[in-house]
Structure 1
Amino acid sequence: MPPARKRILVYRIGSLGDTIIALPAFNKVCEMFPDADITLLTNRPIVSKAAAVESVLGQGYFFHRVVNYPSGTRNPLVLLALWKELRALKIDIAINLATTRILKDLATTKRTVLRDKWFLWSTGIRQFLGFPAIRQDFELSIDPVTGQYEWEALRVMRRLESLGPADLTSDRYWDLHFSEEELGQAKQALQPLAPGQPIVAMCAGTKMQSKDWEEQNWLSFTSRLKTLLPGWQLVMVGAPDEAARADKCIETWGGGVNLCGKTSPRVSGAVLKQARVFVGHDSGPMHLAAATGTPVVAIYSARNLPRQWFPRGDGNRIIYHKTDCAGCVLEVCVAEKKKCILSVTVDEVIDAVMEVLLRREAGSQQ
């Protein structure tokens, strides 16, 4: 009789960018447990415009079913229903890919992790992988190799080192495994564009005020870039409530395709794969473009410390102005008037785009 199929629970919360950063871990789990029955345990996003994890990962490859729970719930009836659902699945292994953030203090954070592990243990799970164990798992630390803050993708994979190494520079670990249907939908979405002409993709929106480079900068940038890239075509991606700003960018460009709110995250990813360059805020679409191998020009605020949430790839240009208030993690910045991101000039972004394109052209000719 063949050995029983492993039943695995993968725990990951967050939205589009958080999910993309954890892609190497998801691919590593599938690589090491190719025949496993995988359940994804995730949250319902707090922010309504944030993409749910399952809409980013798609159906049929990374997991077989989803168990959702409301973010931050303490409702005993909801937790009891979740407990019963997990217990009925008879899970063998729980794999924690969740980002661990310091709460009130380190001790409180450790107790929260232990509480979550105990809850899963009480459902009958006896093997646990990826749960924070050492101090570096709980606190943002300096990567001894780079001397910079540890990259979140590396931080998650480090906790899974028992599964073996994963080369974070390899495309295989960033593969979203688009279906033929999704690739076909992306092709259809780009139908209005002239075939064979190069594409620049942009996302001018963001769900956080503190990350917004603001409309006047985007319109000035779009106007300037159009004159430098004659014959290029513009594609805008993003959430439905970003469509109005995207329309203004397209009008400034003189035409293009506005896909804000019209394509799923995965179809948007298949679209972004066709672009020569992506320009956007520190956002989910930025991470999505980078995962597909499209070089990005990313305009960052300093709400997070540098490198922690940078996108994958060596061909990117990250524009990050480190201010004295860097690492504030504010979603709304009033007192400092967003001095970090608003100190980024249109000239800087234009220069970054042209540098990325020249580097890419030089690489293709080698």
Structure 2
Amino acid sequence: MPAFWALRGHFRDAELSLLCDVQPDAGIVVARDLVTQTGIFDRILTYPRATGLLRKFWSCSQLAFRLRHLRFDTLVYLAPIARSEPQIHRDRRFFRACGIRRFIGMDYVFRPPPRADGRPLPELPREVDLLLDRLRRSGIPVPPPGRARLDLALTEADEARLDALLADKAIDHSRPWVAVGPGSKMPAKRWPEDRYGAVVKRLIDRYSVWPVVFGGPEDHACAERLIASWGEGTNAAGWPIRAAAAALGRCRLYLGNDTGTMHLAASAGTRCVAVFSARDYPGRWYPYGAGHKVLRKRAPCEGCMLADCVDRKMECMRSIAVEDVSAACCEMLDETVRRDGL
């Protein structure tokens, strides 16, 4: 989002189009879901993420035909830093074949230092700031690191949609809400469910918070189990993305894994207590902005990039104790009490 806002701020009178893939059966949030109602883009173009050589060829051919027909002047390249040099050259050739001649953000892509056996991985800048740096190197003004605009431009209609969802939910509006995000598409990113249960129970006993569990439809059963263990709470798993963002904005803090819900909470201005695995470089996907707390333990295998940790049984996640996460949450809520009261 920060790169999108920077582009709209710079190209105020241009017609901006977003090109992104869609994965209807994957159950994941894609860029289109986030920006449709923000007013940043004038048009959103999508293409299916195809599998198999023939399907990929057909998908690319159709996309190339559409892009040539629309006659774009410029491509702003915002692929993640994981994109390799051969992939970048491939993409440049493809878009040149589509008639595009000007490229922004393609000449420099940050490369993380290689992993050295026995040495801890260095902390990287946020992925958001790395993307903004590419725009800066192309002459586009961007905010300083950590200070970019992140919001989804939520409206009164989004708040009304949330109120309609809450109308038939058991929820206590008189108590401070705490967002809980126990899920992830990647098992290696999930802190054990029972530990979330234990931490939130302590917060209920100490601060009388009202837990609201967020996530995708696949997290609904987990949310039900947690709420049953607490004896109270609201299941918001599977809510529409903008209504979920509005609800996260009403929470005093977010407690959860490194997942899209965490970034959505940060975009809503809610401070995060985020539990991270060591599968990736530290820093890269930490919640954006100030005031967040990240719990991450180093492990000999850090940087593994595994989606599912079988051999070590999630050693890095299991080494994060309930007491440490609870203390981080209490510190954040105590700050809120001193500043605003509960």
TM-score, normalised relative to structure 1? 0.84
In the TM superposition, residue 303 of structure 1 has moved relative to its aligned partner by: 0.5
Q: What is the aligned counterpart of 1:82 among 63, 66, 72?
A: 63
Q: Deviations over 1:96-146 (max 9, x none)?
A: 1110315xxxxxx22221111121112121211111x34xx241259xxxx
Q: Deviations over 1:236-256 (max 9, x none)?
A: 111111111101211222222
Q: Deviations over 1:265-305 (max 9, x none)?
A: 12111110000011010000001101211011111110111
CA distance in 2: counterparts of 1:152 and 1:353, whole angstroms: 25
In the TM superposition, residue 47 of structure 1 has moved relative to its aligned partner by: 7.0
In the TM superposition, residue 66 of structure 1 has moved relative to its aligned partner by: 2.2
Q: What is the aligned counterpart of 1:183 among 159, 169, 175?
A: 159
Q: Deviations over 1:137-171 (max 9, x none)?
A: 241259xxxx832221111000000111313444x
Give the 3 Å change call, closer, same or farther, for CA 229–47 of structure 1 in structure 2: farther
Q: Which residue type is aligned with residue 164 of structure 1? A: P
- Report the secondary structure of 1:205's partner residue: coil
Whether 1:322 aligns to 2:298 is yes
Indicate if the aligned counterparts of 1:58 and 1:266 stay in contact, CA closer than 8 A.
no
CA distance in 2: counterparts of 1:77 and 1:165, whole angstroms: 37
CA distance in 1: counterparts of 2:27 and 2:154, whole angstroms: 22
CA distance in 1: counterparts of 2:27 and 2:142, whole angstroms: 35
Q: What is the aligned counterpart of 2:13 among 23, 30, 35?
A: 35
Give the 3 Å change call, closer, same or farther, for CA 312–60 of structure 1 in structure 2: closer
Whether 1:214 aligns to 2:192 is yes
TM-score, normalised relative to structure 2? 0.89
CA distance in 2: counterparts of 1:246 and 1:299, whole angstroms: 17
Whether 1:140 aligns to 2:112 is yes
CA distance in 2: counterparts of 1:35 and 1:60, whole angstroms: 16
Q: Which residue type is aligned with residue 281 of structure 1? A: N
Tell me the residue number matched to 1:348.
324
Tell me the residue number matched to 1:299.
275
Give the 3 Å change call, closer, same or farther, for CA 316–34 of structure 1 in structure 2: same
Between the two proteins, the alignment pairs up a number of residues equal to 327
- Report the secondary structure of 1:163's partner residue: coil
Q: Deviations over 1:5-60 (max 9, x none)?
A: xxxxxxxxxxxxxxxxxx11000011111222222111123871211211122235
Whether 1:166 aligns to 2:147 is no
Indicate if the aligned counterparts of 1:276 and 1:357 stay in contact, CA closer than 8 A.
yes
Identity of aligned residues (%): 30
CA distance in 2: counterparts of 1:100 and 1:148, whole angstroms: 15
Tell me the residue number matched to 1:277.
253
Indicate if the aligned counterparts of 2:180 and 2:214 stay in contact, CA closer than 8 A.
yes
Q: Which moved more, 1:271-280 or 1:161-170?
A: 161-170
Q: Which residue type is aligned with residue 219 of structure 2? A: E
Whether 1:224 aligns to 2:202 is yes
**Structure 1: which 5+ residue stretches go unaligned?**
1-22, 103-108
CA distance in 2: counterparts of 1:28 and 1:240, whole angstroms: 32
Indicate if the aligned counterparts of 1:182 and 1:267 stay in contact, CA closer than 8 A.
yes
Q: Which moved more, 1:58-67 or 1:80-89?
A: 58-67
CA distance in 2: counterparts of 1:125 and 1:362, whole angstroms: 55
Q: Which moved more, 1:249-258 or 1:41-50?
A: 41-50
Tell me the residue number matched to 2:41.
63
Tell me the residue number matched to 2:266.
290
Tell me the residue number matched to 1:20.
none
Indicate if the aligned counterparts of 1:190 and 1:271 stay in contact, CA closer than 8 A.
no
Q: Which moved more, 1:332-341 or 1:180-189?
A: 180-189
Indicate if the aligned counterparts of 2:220 and 2:235 stay in contact, CA closer than 8 A.
yes
- Report the secondary structure of 2:144's partner residue: coil
CA distance in 1: counterparts of 2:284 and 2:44, whole angstroms: 28
Whether 1:125 aligns to 2:100 is yes
CA distance in 1: counterparts of 2:38 and 2:254, whole angstroms: 28
Whether 1:255 aligns to 2:255 is no
